[in-house]
Amino acid sequence: MVCTTGSTIDEEAIMPAITPSLWFDDNLTDAIEFYTAVFPNSSVERVDRYTDAGPGVPGEVVSALFTLDGQRFIGINGGPVFAFTEAVSFTVDCADQAEVDYYWDRLVDGGQESQCGWLKDRFGLSWQIVPSRLTELTGDPDPARAAAATKAMLGMRKIVIAELEDAVAGL
């Protein structure tokens, strides 16, 4: 990349901070407590409260900066104006079935199952719980194996690795 001054910039050295911002109705504190209990390497960095300047009730939480498994997030208690949709979701890459089960069971508690590894948590946020084995099998260079794994996945809610492998082995 070349700047307008003609100097060269090392693109790999520039890493902008992209922080997802999540709009909650009025339950940001509950959401942060929930998510930091589910994900390891999580913490609350800052909680901002309304002051006498408003517009909310002084002392109530308006926003917070928190980290979930090393990823920073901003949360805001913005009111009922906007709701989460499946148009934006977060993917949890899992090494094995134990991780899939752990994240699925915790995140879907009080929420709603969908299909193909998708769920909505109790706050309405969409998650994809994806074992690495799914990607390996659906990306198999043998088209028949990839198709068998894909067909099996399409019939699942939570991804079950053993069922994917059974589908591929049954060719």
DSSP letter for 2, please: B
Report the chain's terminal Cα–Cα distance, integer Å.
Answer: 49
**Model confidence pLDDT, tens digit, residues 18-57:** 999 999 999 999 999 999 999 999 999 999 999 999 888 9
CA 147 – CA 143 distance, rounded (Å): 6
Asked if residue 77 lies in contact with residue 63, where contact means CB atoms within 8 angstroms, the answer is: yes
Dihedral, CA of residue 156, residue 161, residue 166 and residue 171, to nearest 10? 80
Domains of the chain: 21-77 (3.30.720.100), 89-169 (3.10.180.10)
pLDDT category of residue 2 using cuts at 50, 70 and 90: very low
Asked if residue 124 lies in contact with residue 131, where contact means CB atoms within 8 angstroms, the answer is: no
CA 113 – CA 127 distance, rounded (Å): 10
pLDDT category of residue 3 using cuts at 50, 70 and 90: very low
Could you tell me what percentage of the chain is helix, strand and coil, using 3-state DSSP and rounding each to the nearest 5?
30, 25, 45
**Model confidence pLDDT, tens digit, residues 101-155:** 999 999 999 999 999 999 999 999 999 999 999 999 999 999 999 999 999 999 9
